[in-house]
């Protein structure tokens, strides 16, 4: 009733629904960085969209199954192999005891989700199970997986047997070039007038130290106010801050809950799942939209996905 | 978009409300908490943000609701004005930056604990990591800069000081605040109904404890 990690890779964590309702206590969202790939993977094994999965980042990872079950793999992995034989993503796969599952490196993109039909035994807190790395809470003992770790399944957990294939038109296109739509942030006006226009004028490259917390955006620096004495204020995943250096900083799912840099833009909810596929060197073109249009886009996306996934939440 | 209050800024699934002062933030937090539409209510120093589900609520409607809910803020009302006493061990092993801080205050490191204890603080907000509290002293004092290079590891319970502001590290983490002492109290316990020990608006008093008392306290917390 378990799965053994034979090769953990760069950063492999247990992730599902983010934490909600505790940001005022400093609790970050955590959760799957790409909630769309997560939902598609979970559906392949008959689970609801936010169930806990194994999130694999950039490099390849290898697992050994100690149990027969179904799995679903969705994400940026170049290949999926069971005992050396290529297998498709977006399709329910059967694995048996002793099978070796190899999830290839991300090419292109950044993250892949491995959903398992059995119930993964993860630490539970505040209504969630996702790994919160900064505080060492949730998931697998609050940390990234290491080689030889054994992820246990809950005893007597129901194994839902389904055979599913994601429809072609719902399969995300993984790329190293992204268009992210943003709305104006609270500090986009004076004295940062022009910063948002500048942000949308040219493309940016994701810096080498990109993480689940956030990423520096490299490109021509924006005009920033020199001494930033802004009183700390709430930030969210997808908030774009403007530090005095003029290099914008995009916050990810593990970002802290408050910050002291001007918030010049906010990636719209409907596009936030793409943040999970941004890795070092990914290029981003930002496009400004309005909150009203962003809401329409969000509802259109939900309605498209609901036709296949049923009830779904994007974050 | 309909005209709305200029102090309200709308993003697609959260809105930020600028407030005149910190007292209003605490009052706003209490006023907004009554609504079931906010998935997050996050106080800042002079602003507050609420997040909502854009599948259910439109941004304009959210702004109107927030505006209505905050129409009659009673500043200084709130029932969270309790005073919490935080025991702190100021022994040298827990106070690596006592000389740095004392030098900047122009006092001796020996009387540094009494200087810290003599001040009443209040919890301005939580942030940075779960249960991490930003405290503000009610008295004026000289600014103490951050450390020139941040520490790789600041231990859980460490108390940092940069002038009027203090903070309490709720978990081991890297950090740049000069450290004055350490509390054995657990600042964040996710198994509790109220996981964070502190909340914005509370008054804080520090109390000096010995190393023995610290160890005893910590053993009890773990036991």
Judged by CB atoms closer than 8 Å, whether chains meet at B58 and A295 is answered as: yes
User: Which chain B residue is nearest to residue A258, measuring alpha carbons?
Assistant: B127
Judged by CB atoms closer than 8 Å, whether chains meet at A269 and B130 is answered as: no
Token duo for residue A309: 């996934």
How many contacts does A have with B, using Cβ atoms within 8 A? Answer: 147
Q: What is the pLDDT of residues A246-265, one digit of tens each?
A: 999 999 999 999 998 999 99
pLDDT for residue A34 is more than 50 = yes
**Beta strands at A177-184 and A283-288: parallel, antiparallel or unpaired:** parallel
Judged by CB atoms closer than 8 Å, whether chains meet at B195 and A291 is answered as: no
Looking at CA atoms only, how far is residue B163 from chain A in angstroms?
15
Q: How confident is the model at residue B145 (pLDDT cuts 50, 70, 90)?
A: confident
Instruction: Identify the pLDDT of residue B54.
Output: 96
Instruction: Identify the pLDDT of residue A1.
Output: 83
pLDDT for residue B134 is more than 70 = yes
When CB atoms are compared, the residue of A25, A233, A292 closest to B126 is A25
Is the preceding omega at residue A191 within 30 degrees of 0, hence cis? yes
Region A140-163 average pLDDT: 89
Q: How confident is the model at residue A224 (pLDDT cuts 50, 70, 90)?
A: confident
Report yes or no: B25 and B124 within 8 Å, Cβ to Cβ: no
pLDDT for residue A160 is more than 80 = no
Sort residue B201 into left (φ over 0), alpha (ψ -120 to 50) or beta. left
Q: Which residues of A touch B (CB under 8 A)?
A: 20-28, 125-126, 132, 134-137, 183-186, 231-234, 236, 256-258, 263, 266, 268-269, 290-292, 294-295, 298-299, 302, 313
When CB atoms are compared, the residue of B16, B125, B129 closest to A186 is B16
Is the preceding omega at residue A108 within 30 degrees of 0, hence cis? yes
Q: What is the pLDDT of residues A43-97, one digit of tens each?
A: 999 999 999 999 999 999 999 999 899 999 999 999 999 999 999 999 999 999 9
Q: Of residues B95 and A229, which shows the higher confidence score?
A: B95
pLDDT for residue A303 is more than 50 = yes
ipTM metric: 0.95
Q: Which residue has the tokens 């998931």?
A: A139
Interface test with A, best of B6, B13, B58 (most A CBs within 10 A): B13
Instruction: Identify the pLDDT of residue B76.
Output: 60
């Amino acid at each position: 009733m378990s799965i053994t990690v034979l090769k953990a890779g760069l950063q492999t964590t247990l992730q599902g629904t983010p934490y909600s309702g505790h940001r005022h206590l400093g609790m970050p969202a955590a959760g799957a960085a790409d909630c769309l790939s997560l939902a598609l993977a979970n559906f392949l094994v008959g689970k609801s969209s936010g169930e806990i999965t194994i999130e694999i980042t950039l490099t390849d990872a290898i697992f050994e199954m100690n149990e027969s079950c179904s799995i679903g793999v969705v994400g940026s992995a170049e290949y999926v192999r069971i005992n050396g034989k290529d297998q498709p993503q977006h399709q329910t796969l059967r694995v048996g005891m002793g099978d070796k599952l190899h999830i290839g490196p991300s090419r292109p993109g950044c993250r892949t989700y491995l959903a398992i039909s059995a119930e993964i035994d993860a630490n539970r807190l505040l209504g969630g199970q996702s790994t919160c790395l900064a505080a060492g809470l949730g998931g697998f003992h609050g940390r990234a997986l290491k080689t030889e770790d054994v992820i246990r399944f809950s005893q007597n957990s129901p194994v839902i047997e389904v055979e599913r294939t994601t429809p072609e038109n719902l399969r995300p296109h993984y790329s190293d070039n992204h268009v992210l739509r943003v709305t104006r942030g609270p500090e986009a006006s004076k004295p940062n007038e022009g910063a948002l226009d500048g942000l949308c004028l040219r493309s940016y490259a994701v810096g080498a130290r990109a993480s689940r917390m956030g990423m520096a955006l490299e490109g021509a620096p924006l005009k920033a106010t020199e001494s930033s004495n802004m009183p700390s204020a709430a930030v969210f995943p997808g908030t774009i801050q403007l530090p005095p250096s003029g290099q914008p900083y995009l916050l990810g799912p593990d970002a802290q809950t408050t910050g002291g840099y001007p918030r010049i833009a906010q990636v719209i909810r409907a596009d936030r799942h793409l943040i999970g596929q941004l890795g070092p060197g990914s290029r981003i073109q930002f496009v400004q939209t309005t909150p009203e249009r962003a809401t329409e886009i969000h509802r259109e996306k939900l309605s498209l996905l609901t036709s296949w996934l049923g009830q779904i939440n994007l974050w | 978009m309909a005209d709305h209050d200029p102090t309200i800024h709308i993003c697609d699934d959260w809105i930020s409300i600028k407030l005149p002062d910190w007292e209003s933030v605490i009052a706003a937090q209490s006023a907004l908490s009554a609504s079931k539409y906010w998935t997050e209510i996050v106080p800042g120093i002079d602003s507050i943000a609420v997040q909502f589900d854009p599948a259910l609520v439109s941004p304009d409607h959210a702004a109107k609701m927030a505006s209505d809910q905050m129409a009659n803020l009673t500043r200084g009302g709130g029932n969270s004005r309790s005073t919490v006493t935080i025991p702190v061990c100021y022994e040298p092993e827990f106070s690596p930056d006592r000389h740095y801080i004392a030098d900047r205050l122009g006092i001796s490191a020996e009387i540094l604990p009494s200087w810290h204890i003599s001040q009443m603080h209040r919890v301005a907000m939580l942030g940075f990591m779960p249960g991490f509290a930003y405290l503000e002293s009610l008295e004026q004092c000289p600014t103490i800069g951050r450390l020139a290079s941040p520490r790789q590891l600041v231990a859980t319970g460490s108390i940092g000081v940069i002038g009027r502001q203090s903070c309490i590290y709720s978990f081991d983490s890297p950090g740049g605040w000069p450290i004055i002492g350490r509390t054995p109290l657990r600042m964040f316990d996710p198994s509790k109904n109220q996981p964070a020990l502190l909340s914005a608006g509370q008054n804080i008093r520090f109390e000096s404890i010995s190393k023995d008392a610290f160890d005893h306290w910590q053993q009890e917390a773990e036991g």
